[in-house]
Amino acid sequence: MSYEEYKKEIVEVARKAYARGLVPGSSGNISMKMPDTDLVMIKASGVPFRDMTEDDIVTMDLDGNVVEGSKKPSKEFRFHLGIYRVRADVGAVLHVHSPFATLYAVLGRPIPLVAVQAEARVCSTPVVDFAPAGSEKLAEMVINAYRDQKTNVILLRNHGVVIAEKDLREALNLAETIEDTALIAAFYEIISGLQKEK
């Protein structure tokens, strides 16, 4: 695939993530590592997934230098690049604020993997302590959590979700599965709690 084709794919996945309600407003960020290179394409800062075009993509090397594109990279570029540095198996990173998964991030609890479709894809959803969005501290904690080779989803305390997968399509699939699992888990916990009260 050419650079232009990769950019098209990023935009397409970003718009699908927006349409699915995973990234309200101008929140969230998305990146992919170009196969067989040390180059990462990442969304520019402050651009909603909804309106994103190929011009809103910045190319960076793994050391954090911008090598192509005139815009400022997403403020979370540190953890995107860091995940690729520690995980050769990861080809795409998606950070979303989907509401039910974020509910568990606010509670500070891993999402109960109540349905088999989640259990098949995810071992657990560890929660990383709170640190301000875009901070070096947050990046450091996210990267550390991803040193575990089994990790493909983490929750950011009081904030959202970071998904790492082999490619963009799989990252989007997993973000959707995680959001639905969190919704089912939340209702399961409410309903089973009410039944116990009876």
Indicate which residues carry an active-site annotation.
Answer: 76
- Pick the closer one to Zn ion by CB: 32 or 101: 101
Q: In DSSP terms, which residues pair with 156 in a beta bridge?
A: 128, 160
Q: Which token pair is 72?
A: 């400022």
Q: Locate tokens 């290179």: which residue?
A: 37
The one among 84, 160, 181, 186 contacting Zn ion by CB under 5 A: 160
Q: How far apart are CA 142 and CA 48, in angstroms?
A: 23
Measured CA to CA, the distance from residue 143 to residue 137 in angstroms comes to 10
Closest to Zn ion by CB, 91 vs 160, is 160
Output the smallest distance, CB 60 to Zn ion, in A.
Answer: 18
Structure tokens at 192: 């089973």
Site track 76-115 with Zn ion (rule: CB under 5 A), x = hit: ----------------------------------------
Cα separations (Å) of 38 from 6, 8, 70, 84, 142? 15, 20, 19, 9, 20
Stretch that binds Zn ion, among 36-44, 103-111, 120-128, 160-168 (CB under 5 A): 160-168
Separation between Cα atoms, residue 87 and residue 13, nearest integer Å: 22
- Total number of residues that touch Zn ion (CB under 5 A): 1
* Listed ranges 13-21, 42-50, 57-65, 158-166: which one lies at the site for Zn ion (CB under 5 A): 158-166
Q: CB of 54: closest distance to Zn ion in angstroms?
A: 23
Q: Based on the shown chain and the rule CB under 5 A, indicate whether residue 31 belongs to the binding site for Zn ion.
A: no
CB of 104 to Zn ion, least distance (A): 15
Closer CB to Zn ion, residue 10 or residue 131?
Answer: 131
Per CB under 5 A, the segment of 3-11, 82-90, 135-143, 159-167 that binds Zn ion is 159-167
- Where in the chain does DSSP place strands (E)? 29-33, 39-43, 57-61, 66-68, 92-96, 127-128, 153-156, 160-165
Burial of 85 (0-12, 13-18, 19+ CB in 10 A): middle
Closest residue to Zn ion using C-beta atoms: 160
CA dist., res. 178 & res. 110, Å (int): 11
Q: Which is nearer to Zn ion, 32 or 142 (CB)?
A: 142
In the complex, the residues that contact Zn ion under the rule CB under 5 A are 160
